[in-house]
């Protein structure tokens, strides 16, 4: 049902939600940190008491998390985060898009690339736009030419 909803909605354009690699079902509570590796999507319909992170914090990997349950902990390193009627109680950092729908709630600071908020959703915390690191600075190095009497 969630997969069909995502395909029909504008959220289908913001992330790779086609492949669900893990689901924490409603009624299940996970205690501890969850670490995602590779191009994966995690769906949290139940509860997580701990951080939800990726192993590749510096490299975009098209990793997504869809939350319709509750995460009590930090969520960071993902390219796409969809809070679909769920809650995050902690800091959130996302390289690309964070979207809140169906009265989704984030209570904590948020760092985002793009932000989409449906009416009725709530963010309580400091908002900061993510800026990718600048390209390496170009250094100008003087070059000594092999011939020194150019002005003669």
pLDDT digits over 18-31, tens only? 444 688 889 999 99
The closest alpha carbon to 99, from 70, 71, 77, 121, belongs to 121
**Residue 47, phi then psi, degrees to nearest 5:** -125, 145
**Please, is 152 exposed, middle or buried when counting C-beta atoms within 10 Å of its C-beta (0-12, 13-18, 19+)?**
exposed
The whole-number pLDDT of residue 150 equals 54
The answer to the question of residue 83 being in a domain is yes
pLDDT digits over 107-148, tens only? 999 999 889 999 999 999 999 887 766 666 656 666 665 655
pLDDT surpassing 70 at residue 54: yes
Domain count, the chain: 1
Distance from C-alpha of 112 to C-alpha of 88, rounded to nearest angstrom: 14
pLDDT surpassing 80 at residue 149: no
The answer to the question of residue 105 being in a domain is yes
The answer to the question of residue 136 being in a domain is no
Q: Which pTM value belongs to this model?
A: 0.72
The answer to the question of residue 101 being in a domain is yes
The answer to the question of residue 137 being in a domain is no
- Residue numbers of the domain that contains 6: 2-129
């Amino acid at each position: 049902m969630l997969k069909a909803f995502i395909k029909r909605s504008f959220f289908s354009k913001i992330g790779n939600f086609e492949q669900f690699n893990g689901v924490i079902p409603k009624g299940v509570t996970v205690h501890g940190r969850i670490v995602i590796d590779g191009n994966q999507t995690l769906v949290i319909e139940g509860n997580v008491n701990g951080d939800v992170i990726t192993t590749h914090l510096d490299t975009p990997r098209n990793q997504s998390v869809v939350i319709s349950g509750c995460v009590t902990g930090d969520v960071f390193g993902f390219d796409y985060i969809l809070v679909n009627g769920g809650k995050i109680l902690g800091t959130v950092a996302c390289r690309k898009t964070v979207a809140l729908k169906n009265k989704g709630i984030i209570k904590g600071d948020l760092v985002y690339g793009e932000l989409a908020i449906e009416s009725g959703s709530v963010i309580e915390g400091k908002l900061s736009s993510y800026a990718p690191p600048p390209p390496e600075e170009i250094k100008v190095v003087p070059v000594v030419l092999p011939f020194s009497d150019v002005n003669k």
